[in-house]
A and B are shown apart, each in its own frame.
Chain A
Amino acid sequence: MKTQSVAPRSGSPLALSVPLGIFFVGFVFVPMLLLAYVSLFEDMEMTRHGFSQYVKFLSDGFNLGILGSTLLLGLKVSILCTLLGFPLAYLYVQIPGRWQGPLMLLIVLPLLTSSVVRTFAWVVILGRQGIVNTAMANLGWIQEPVKLLYTPGAVAVALAQIELPLMVLPLITALMNCDRNLRDASLALGAGHWRTFWKITVPLSMPGLLAGGLLVFASSVSAFVTQTLVGGGQQIFMPYYMYQQAIQANNYPFAAAIAMLLLVCVLAVVVTVNALGRRNSGFVHA
């Protein structure tokens, strides 16, 4: 009988990762390089090389405004999601087990629902005949329907709701990993509930907060569908700008430059926040 070759101690052979590896090299890595390469053309016809696309973007107030409002949107949504998401996660870990199932379903459902559907819901809510306007009219606050859609606030609020699960889920994990005794110990030592919250609960759930915050930031900055449908034509954010330049204006180098700039900004934020977080969170898993 032939002796079987002993399987490697760590399990499956490395060769199994090759197919996906080849796929990724060909269809993720190379295209990204291509994107960077295309952004280094001087003109639309792609004949000369240079940095003029970036110069053009970074020296124009209009362009910088778009980049700025996109990053600002990410920041606003992250803050809103933190304000709403933390209490919800906190509630989740406090309620008895039999309520946690339905609540989790409630939190997870938006994640799996189509983003177009979720955005459409906000179009319905904020439209001229939507619930907000109708309610305000019934209360006598307004006579005419107020334009709620296509305002910067609307985009932030809609995105906050859509991205909320991305903040709540890592926070729930972080809070559940926290030793329950720590909160009890704080109370037993005489600290009130607010002090326990700010001094114990929040610092110890910081990894979850940062993880959730980054997810929300990255996601809302790239949320093409919501930005465009709720933001309307007047407000342009980076994703739409990229699309418009590529498909409508056929200016691929400029579109590539926009994409690269957005990518770099998101990566910079992610790396910075992660580095800050790592400095402070070493003890959480003691």
Chain B
Amino acid sequence: MNTLNSTSAVSVRVDGIHHRYAGSVALESISLDIEPGELVALLGPSGCGKTTLLRIVAGLVGQTRGTVRIGNDVVDAMPTNVRGAGIVFQNYALFPHMKVEANVAYGLRARGVSAGEASATARRMLDMVRMSAFGNRYPRELSGGQQQRVALARTLAVKPRVLLLDEPFAALDKNLRLDMQIEIKRIQRELGITTILVTHDQEEAMSMADRIAVMNAGRVEQFDTPEVIYDCPATLFVATFIGTANLLPGNLMARDGFYEVACEGGGALKLGQALPFSEDGRVVVAARPEHLALTTQSDITLPATVEMVLPMGPSFVYELTLSDGRTVKVTQPRIADLPRYAAGDRVGLSLRAGSPAGVFSA
């Protein structure tokens, strides 16, 4: 059932991509190296340029500067129809006047494959996405999830070297989304095809991608595995876009073997390391709720008052205010030997030993 041999997977590389559109800069100095067989997510808010980048790789948009390589070939001179990049659109773009099987066979027929053979391949592809029973229907008779599977089958039928997915799950309702994510990940693994996925949903990116390129305003802020992006965000944008982070501005001072940040809200934090920014001076510390702990007040804590305590499943979520009015969220596992606090309690905040916190220049 494998129509692609995983040893034939290719790398994708974009170098120095700049793109201007309608007088403004859509993409600036984008360089990404994608390994063969990898699933990379382009993640960012709307307008960050992720879809533009995808369309440039597909050949639907000609970039202002820079090169696109698929495998060993520089493909900039190749228009879309010969480039070998299969793209699935957000609205699936199934041809409404053709039945499902004809849709899936379309690319094969376009390449001159005989009708019989194209039909047979189309049916195999429909088997792979579990849509065999629908070959004789029209797209309008299918639900969103079903249309997506057909669109995938159609694209994979022509054995593209790269698979490009443009916000594939955005139009599906939440229950279906998870199923389809698992399905696509399964197919991608089985076929071993290099895949680029565009999304604005960080959970989706974190769960599906081997690596994530976090994009903002036309630039790539960080390109790494989901764990590294979560634990060691490279920029303030990544720290706040992925997961939640409490932002604590202050003054960094390097001490003997550790670092100390004197916070604007009073008190100080002790850090084992200051990454990615470690020069003395004004900084912003981004600490995730699970990385902070509540203790009694002292010199190396931030004085705070508990405003609310919410039990959420296995944790407590504390909402606290600092002396300058800033709010901070802290989560703490709800286990017996951890002290509990109530609204109105005055506590000190510190970083858990060994927990990373991002330190960024202010």
Chain A interface (Cβ < 8 Å from any Cβ of B): 179, 181-182, 184-193, 195, 199-200, 203-204, 280, 283-284, 286
Contact status A189-B93, CB under 8 Å? no
Q: Which of B60, B79, B86 contacts A189 (CB 8 A)?
A: B86
Instruction: Name the B residues within 8 Å of A204 (CB-CB).
Output: 96-97
Q: Which residues of B have CB within 8 Å of A203?
A: 97
Report which residue of B60, B111, B158 has the largest number of chain A beta carbons within 10 angstroms of its beta carbon: B60
Chain B nearest CB: distance from A202 CB in Å?
A: 10
Give chain A nearest CB distance to B92 CB in angstroms.
8
Instruction: Tell me whether B138 and A188 are in contact (CB under 8 A).
Output: no
Count A/B pairs, Cβ under 8 Å: 71
Interface presence of B291 (CB below 8 A): no
Cα(A286)–Cα(B138), bound, Å: 10
Given contacts A185-B87, A185-B89, whether A190 and B97 have CB atoms under 8 Å apart is no
B139 engages A189 (CB within 8 Å)? no
- A280 and B111 CA atoms in complex are apart in Å by 27
Residues of chain B lying within 8 A (CB to CB) of residue A200: 95
B residues near A181, Cβ cutoff 8 Å = 89, 91, 93
| A40 vs B106: C-alpha distance when bound (angstroms) | 57
Q: Report the separation of the CA atoms of residues A199 and B139 in the bound assembly, to the nearest whole angstrom.
A: 16
Cβ contact within 8 Å between B79 and A191: no
Measured between beta carbons, the chain B residues less than 8 angstroms from A284 are 96-97
- Within the complex, what minimum Cβ distance (angstroms) separates B23 from chain A? 12
Interface string of B133-145 (1 = CB under 8 A from A): 0000011100000
B343 within 8 A of A: no
Residues of B at the A interface (CB closer than 8 Å) are 58-60, 79-82, 85-87, 89, 91, 93, 95-97, 106-107, 110-111, 138-140, 154-155, 158
Whether A191 pairs with B93 at a CB distance below 8 angstroms is: no
Q: 6 closest A-B pairs (Cβ-Cβ)?
A: A189-B107, A286-B140, A191-B110, A181-B93, A185-B93, A187-B80
A184→B60 contact, CB < 8 A: yes
**B110 adjacent to A189 (CB under 8 Å):** yes
Q: How far is the CA of A192 from the CA of B112 in the complex (A)?
A: 12
Q: Chain B residues near A187 (CB, 8 Å)?
A: 60, 79-81
Q: How far is the CB of B62 from chain A (nearest CB, A)?
A: 13
**Contact present for B95 and A182 (CB under 8 Å):** yes
Q: Does B89 lie within 8 Å of A186, measured CB to CB? A: no
Identify which of B81, B91, B110, B138 contacts A179 (C-beta below 8 A). B91
Distance between Cα atoms of A204 and B158 in the complex (Å)? 23
Do A179 and B82 have beta carbons less than 8 Å apart? no
Shortest CB–CB separation between residue A44 and chain B, in angstroms? 54
CA distance A199 to B154 in the complex (A): 16
Can you show 25 pairs from A to B with CB atoms below 8 A apart? A179-B93, A181-B91, A181-B93, A182-B95, A184-B60, A184-B80, A184-B87, A184-B89, A186-B95, A186-B106, A187-B81, A188-B58, A188-B59, A188-B81, A188-B87, A189-B155, A190-B81, A191-B81, A200-B95, A283-B97, A283-B138, A284-B96, A284-B97, A286-B139, A286-B140
> Contact at B110–A190, with CB atoms within 8 Å?
yes
B140–A283 CB distance below 8 A = yes
A residues within 8 A CB of B85? Answer: 188
List of A residues within 8 angstroms of B89 by Cβ = 181, 184-185
A277 to chain B, nearest CB (A): 13
Tell which of A186, A188, A191, A283 touches B96, judged by Cβ atoms closer than 8 Å: A283
Residue of B95, B111, B138 with most partner-chain A CB within 10 A: B95
CB distance from A175 to the nearest CB of B (A): 15
Q: Which residues of A contact B140 (CB under 8 A)?
A: 283, 286
- Least CB separation from A178: chain B residue: B96
The answer on a CB contact under 8 Å between A286 and B96 is yes
Q: Is the CB of B60 within 8 A of A192?
A: no
CB-based nearest B residue for A200: B95
By beta carbon, the residue of chain A nearest B87 is A188
